[in-house]
Amino acid sequence: MELLFRPRRLRRSETLRRMVQETRLRREDLIYPMFVAPGQGVRQEVPSMPGVFRLSLEKLVEEAKEVAGLGIPGVLLFGLPQKKDETGSEAASPKGAVQQAVRRLKKEVPDLVVITDVCLCGYTSHGHCGLLRPGGEVDNDATLEVLAQVAVSHAQAGADIVAPSDMMDGRVGAIREALDEVGQEMTAILSYAVKYASSFYGPFRDAADSAPQFGDRRAYQMDPANARDAIREAALDVEEGADILMVKPAMPYLDILARLRPEFDLPLAAYQVSGEYAMIKAAAQKGWLDETAVMLESLLSIKRAGADLILTYFAKQAAALLGK
């Protein structure tokens, strides 16, 4: 039988494969998450996330300069407080770890896009993402006011983008209104629009010391069984003023990314979370996987599914390779 078309013709060499490649991964697609800790001289590796560190302010600035030098355009900051309380009061403090870090980064690495996580889970003594009612339920509407205060404090410190990750109803609208009222209308919002109640967050909770002290977060984060919810959540955030939409986690929810891509024309981000990172690292350390090859393939799969931006702890490692 005569074959009219042979797909293998365009796979015969590396150069040919590059010429017809449909999806391209770039350094500019990557965002590097970082953890800023109180104190000085702190560079503490997270045991469940090899190569990821809690960093005091001066160490964070050093690493951010390295990140920028690799061609990575932005970082996402998570803060560890000096102390926690029931209301997470330190989250909105001008003297908080994130606020101080933003000011230093915008002064010393001005071209780096600084994104800040807006949530209370790392700051509350109970580990939940909002204020609690007497019975232990998260009070959605009371939490909105506090989240707005946190976002404003980040923007006033110089953050380019604030990223609410709490999954409270209406938080994007509340933050947008609060930012506009104080003259921060040019601060963008990257919304954790589609954030699932995932089992892949464990290592992050070690890094940020943010595990809930009782119960779980399934009452406000999305059910992993639901896909149509993702469209509704993202649409609400668009209506409320989000500038970028994000899906979290990434690889277990590539189908969700693919569903959102044709529905929305805003930039779409995906977070390759701590559990995804830790699994690849652990398998590589056992010699079961080629870390570099699997890391790049995983990031490419996220890009292929529709992500414009990828938040990943592999950002530095990937950028060093992509820059060659």
**Confidence at residue 324, expressed as pLDDT on a 0 to 100 scale:** 62
Q: Which residues of 51-77 are buried (b: 16+ CB within 10 A; e: fewer)?
A: ebbbbbbebbbebbeebbebebbbbbb
Provide DSSP, 120-155: STTTBTT--SS-B-TTS-B-HHHHHHHHHHHHHHHH
Q: What pLDDT sits at residue 136?
A: 86
pLDDT at residue 68 tops 70: yes
Report DSSP letters for 34-63, one per residue.
EEE-SSSS-EEE-TTSTT-EEE-HHHHHHH
Q: Rounded to whole angstroms, how far apart are CA atoms 8 and 33?
A: 39
120 within 8 A of 142, measured Cβ to Cβ: no
Interatomic CA distance for residues 55 and 63, integer angstroms = 9
- Report whether 179 contacts 187 (CB < 8 A): yes
Which tens digit of pLDDT belongs to each residue from 192-217?
A: 999 999 999 988 887 777 777 777 78
Asked whether the predicted pLDDT for residue 13 surpasses 70, the reply is yes
Q: How far is CA 298 from CA 226, 289, 305, 310, in A?
A: 23, 12, 11, 11
Question: Domain 24-212+226-322 belongs to what topology?
Answer: TIM Barrel (3.20.20)
Residues 83-125 pLDDT 10s: 988 889 999 999 999 999 999 999 999 999 999 999 998 899 8
8 Å CB contact between 91 and 123:
yes
- What pLDDT is attached to residue 130? 87
> For position 1, what pLDDT does the model report?
61
pLDDT reported for residue 210: 77
Q: Which residue has the higher pLDDT, 206 or 82?
A: 82
**Residue 156 burial by Cβ neighbours in a 10 Å radius (0-12, 13-18, 19+):** middle
- Active-site residue numbers? 195, 248
Q: Is the pLDDT of residue 47 over 70?
A: yes
Q: What percent of the chain has pLDDT over 90?
A: 84
Mean pLDDT of 256-263: 98
28 pLDDT exceeds 80? yes
pLDDT tops 80 at residue 27: yes
Q: What is the pLDDT of residue 36?
A: 96
Residue 179 near residue 243 (C-beta atoms within 8 A): no
Percentage with pLDDT > 70 across the chain: 98
pLDDT digits (tens, 9 = 90+) for 273-319: 999 999 999 999 999 999 999 999 999 999 999 999 999 999 999 99
Q: Beta strand pairing status for 268-272 and 244-248? A: parallel
H or E segment and range at residue 195: strand 188-195
d(CA 171, CA 311): 21
Question: What pLDDT is attached to residue 197?
Answer: 95
CA angle (18 as vertex; 12, 22 as ends), nearest 5: 110
Q: What is the mean pLDDT of the chain?
A: 94
The rounded Cα 14 to chain-centroid distance in angstroms is: 33
